[in-house]
Structure 1
């Protein structure tokens, strides 16, 4: 099922009522809960692309399939995971998630969780950053999710709309853009280029962001920002929106994905630069498995690494075999990669953390995700210090495969030329 542009009819989604939903010992937390910060943000967030049929799982066919989203969302909340990330682009994800929130409203009222969604990108119809559509899309998300307000709304995958840059149209290392003045100039990252609009695409982003500012002024959205893959683009646009008189003071939230994992750790070097645009910026990272790249079965057919980076694919396969041999735990590379990815980065020493968005499809994955998070963040887990040492030693060996092949911290092209 493809949920298209906001002008298309809404889909009809089958749903199992709470009263007839399975609720057994498997639906209860195991061990300590995940603590939220003073603002109610948990260090783990549920990535709800998994609720979009056909993206990471086939459409539901059985009662068990139909009730699993509700069970998964309920267990996450029972564990103290309060943050949910979705998008109109994720097929019917917003509709399915909204049904879950409505079913659980007596136990978990709106103020007990955070909702993040996006606007401007739609399954089947590509991108529409027109001001009229941005407003229509956000208002539709409010209805779908059953919310009077949204905690965060991002302009979705901004690199597909921003004015294209030739330096990002091939595989590259984001860290090179932090040290090479020539690359910085090509990517618009010099201090003298802050606030510079490079073309029509940038103009569309400025106009769309102004709509989000208006919706925030109306109280419909709390934080507004951008999401996407290429770190140089996210940094350039963050500076543009902070410097342009039409959009000052700029974004208040940012979502980066696939740059804080075993294959690519570039995000940690960009973090202080993003914070320079706004010291109170709410930042999240997503996809500790790099959209399935770091899984035994390999990434899905649509994954950009399959066509954009053959060497990265080859190195990943070898590193996964090494992880099977050296880590020797049930779950293998998924356990290893998830543990590496959910170590929360600190925004400031001893202070705010960067929440990690993890996609879960069922209650078993919720249990496993929370267990691994507790283990790597020193809040209990299996095996104590020896297990932690074994995990870290295997992580180093895993990363060395990428380093040997010259693809450590490499990014694939993402933008309008890759549609």
Structure 2
């Protein structure tokens, strides 16, 4: 099956694992560069990853990915229809958004140029809770126009606030007489916060959404031993000090049991996504990496949950069950570890990050102080 066929339901094309492009940005990596992106992508493709999610906001991710994907090592081995490219529009900087029709169109055209491709498989409206719903709906309309032009295959929205995502999904279906193809939510199908599974999926399914991406399974690096990532732009992580301390305590406890909190959290998110997938709703996991070592560690962890397929498009099966070499006794022990982590997190379990928070004026699309 050709991955570029827009008539094919996205749920039949989207693999269970997607490579996140934020690892090639100034937000989470110091000095992202073309050598880093090329090395990681070459190894990722060798290991079977065939879908990439990025954003214009994750600068310079699009530029680095475009350079890597057009490298002879890729062009000679992987044609464009053998992988999926997903990017986003609307968010420009931490405090700057532009959802105007002119900018949405310009942003898509710029992404096409940066990624060195003639079409994009998916384009999301980025962090929709920061702008008025009407502007999101208008931007979706522009993206749908670009679908008809052949520049985009599928259209979605992304953000943190589940109630906003579901509300907009319902309104898109009402206004355009068709549902969104896909919705992306971050850090809410994790060991720390499981609200997406409990509160979001049913509502999104009712709105006709057939694909949901769970990104940030480690809550942007919170659920690991070495603390939150700090890139060239400094510490942007929204977790308050109390949650960071609890996560550190959980990581130390898990390490004392001979396990890694990052591996435990990643397995949990992948398994949760698989268990929540149905015939009419595909739930996948976006996995951010910054290095080959991190990529290989994460995929080794994923292998404990997913089976390897002989499919030529990618090696990871869409409907995989737990790997047979991940014994039931360990699974039982894993449940105990997960319960211990939740107990350590205490009141921080299911804590939601403020997004956009009281300091943001949604109508003005800027910080409150700047809006006065």
- The interval holding the TM-score normalised by the smaller chain is 0.7 to 0.9
Q: TM-score, normalised by structure 2?
A: 0.82
Q: For the residues of structure 1 that align with 2:266 and 2:45, how far apart are their CA atoms?
A: 20
Q: Quick one: distance in 2 between partners of 1:207 and 1:396?
A: 44
Where in structure 2 are the equivalents of 1:132-143 lying within 5 Å? 132-143=102-113
CA offsets 1:1-35 (integer angstroms, 9 cap, x no match): xxxxxxxxxxxxxxxxxxxxxxxxxxxxxxxxxxx
Structure 1 residue aligned with 2:238: 304
Aligned pairs for 1:17-416 (under 5 A) are 39-52=12-25, 54-60=26-32, 66-103=34-71, 104-123=74-93, 126-161=96-131, 201-244=132-175, 247-269=176-198, 270-278=200-208, 281-300=210-229, 301-306=235-240, 310-326=241-257, 328-329=258-259, 332-343=260-271, 344-346=273-275, 348-349=277-278, 353-377=282-306, 380=323, 384-402=327-345, 405-415=346-356
Does the Cα contact within 8 Å between 2:119 and 2:152 map onto a contact in 1?
yes
SS in structure 2 of the partner of residue 406 of structure 1: helix
3-state secondary structure, aligned to 1:354 = strand
Distance 1:149 1:236 in 2: 28
The residue that corresponds to 1:30 in the other structure is none
Q: TM-score, normalised by structure 1?
A: 0.73
Distance 1:105 1:59 in 2: 26
SS at match of 2:304: helix
Q: 1:108 to 1:391 in 2, by over 3 A?
A: same
Q: CA deviation at 1:379?
A: 5.3
For residues 226 and 116 of structure 2, the distance between their equivalents in structure 1, rounded to whole angstroms, comes to 36
Residue 167 (structure 1) aligns with: none
For the residue of structure 2 that corresponds to 1:305, the secondary structure is: coil
Whichever of the two has the greater Rg, that structure is 1
Q: Give the C-alpha shift of residue 350 in structure 1.
A: 7.0
Given that 1:346 and 1:352 are in contact with CA atoms closer than 8 Å, whether structure 2 keeps it comes out as no
Could you say if the C-alpha distance between residues 50 and 293 of structure 1 is closer, same or farther in structure 2, counting changes exceeding 3 Å?
same
Tell me if structure 1 keeps the 8 A contact 2:172–2:178: yes
Point out where structure 1 has 5 or more consecutive residues left out of the alignment: 1-36, 162-200
Distance 2:161 2:11 in 1: 31
Aligned length: 328
Shift of the alpha carbon at 1:46?
0.3
Q: Structure 2: which 5+ residue stretches go unaligned?
A: 1-9, 230-234, 307-320, 361-366, 368-372
Report if the CA contact (8 A) 1:157-1:229 is conserved. Answer: yes
Residues in 2 aligned to 1:322 and 1:347: alpha-carbon distance in whole angstroms: 28
Kindly state the Cα deviation for residue 41 of structure 1 after the two structures are TM-superposed: 2.5
Q: Secondary structure at the match of 2:15?
A: coil
What is the RMSD of the two structures over their aligned residues, measured on CA atoms? 2.2
What is the deviation of 1:67?
2.1
